Structure 1
Amino acid sequence: MLITDEQFASVRGTVMDANPDMAAQMAGRIVDEGLKFVAACAKNPGLGLAPSRIVDEGWHALILHTALYAELCDTLGDQFVHHYPGYDPTNYDPPILDRTREKITELGWEADQELWGPPSDETLASVAAKCQHAPDCTIIITPRPKPGVA
């Protein structure tokens, strides 16, 4: 587990606050996928990964818990997974999402296929965030400089 049950419940609550009609189970699935996404990015710097629009909602909720998020990134390695918003919610690049799901699988998890599809008006859940990161805004992680190294 990447975060404690208490932390998970808090992040899930943030997703539900942003999406008042969302069931707790769906919010939990979204947070799970957000965690998997952050781990995949941290473990694959420079690859250019991106979340689906609905998974991005879970990532946003994690980021809002700044101390938890910083600790999560530290736990995952030397990579801080920064957020570079893409503001067009219709952007969709299947190869980038395929690559991201492959990296999640390589870490030993199964991606929730229902949450990694294209943005549409008929998604499994309405999401508050109006951003989509593919294709022009993939997430490319750069290692933190080591102390004392210029």
Structure 2
Amino acid sequence: MTARTLLSDAQFNEVRATILDNNPGMEPDLASRILTDALAFVAAASARGGRGMVPSRVVDEGWHALILHTGLYQNLCALLGGFVHHTPERPDPGRFDSAVLARTIAAIESAGYSVDTDLWGAPDAELVSVAAKCQHSDDGGPIVIIPKPKG
């Protein structure tokens, strides 16, 4: 299943335009891939309560673009079952933990979404330079779901 279907064409194009505006020279296809994986990340994080999940630095660029469309993002999170908050951290390759990304990818796939593995590398092994200057590195903080899932 692709997370692309979580937004209408118009919504997807608006958020993708934000990614492209923030990253001059980025190919539209790459921006679409980033946004699709950001949608899958938010969907899985909402379903799982965010425990043990962090986006890659590249996918975080798509998450940032979603968040900038506040009404759309609020409605998306409501549809998915819980608001996924974002707490940024400055990039620091020394904090990178590949096991956390592997758990995140597994959670996304477990939720039924496909993952573009090229977008899930270490913060210093970028597929592309992105405007987002934040990194999420541990299971303990960056994601808080409101309301908390039952169970």
Q: Same fold (TM over 0.5)?
A: yes
Change (3 A) 1:30 1:89: farther
Following superposition, the deviation at residue 140 of structure 1 comes to 3.5
TM-score (norm 1): 0.89
Contact 1:86 1:131 in 2 (8 A): yes
Change in CA separation of 1:53 and 1:89 when aligned onto 2, cut-off 3 Å: farther
Q: Does 1:93 align with 2:97?
A: yes
- Contact 1:52–1:97 (8 Å) recurs in 2: yes
Q: Which amino acid aligns with 1:116?
A: W
Give matches, 1:15-94, under 5 Å: 15-45=19-49, 47-77=51-81, 79-90=82-93, 91-94=95-98
Q: Measured at CA, do residues 67 and 60 of structure 1 come closer, stay the same or move farther in structure 2, by a change above 3 Å?
A: same
Q: 2 CA distance for matches of 1:46 and 1:97?
A: 13
Q: What is the identity, as a one-letter code, of the residue corresponding to 1:132?
A: Q
Classify 1:46/1:128 alpha carbon distance in 2 versus 1 (closer, same or farther; 3 Å): closer
Deviation at 1:92, TM superposition (A): 1.6
Q: 1:124 corresponds to which residue?
A: 127
CA distance in 1, matches of 2:24, 2:35: 15
CA distance in structure 2 between the aligned counterparts of 1:70 and 1:112, rounded to whole angstroms: 25
Question: How many angstroms does 1:138 deviate by?
Answer: 4.4
Bigger helix fraction: 2
What are the ranges of 5 or more consecutive residues in structure 1 without an aligned counterpart? 146-150
Deviations 1:51-78 (A, max 9, x none): 000000000000000000000000001x
- Tell me, in whole angstroms, the C-alpha distance in 1 between the residues paired with 2:105 and 2:134: 19
Q: 2:109 aligns with which of 77, 93, 105?
A: 105
Identity of aligned residues (%): 48
Alpha-carbon offset, residue 136 of structure 1: 6.8
Whole-angstrom distance in 2 between the partners of 1:49 and 1:25 = 25
Moved more, 21-30 or 104-113: 104-113
1:141 to partner: Cα distance: 2.8
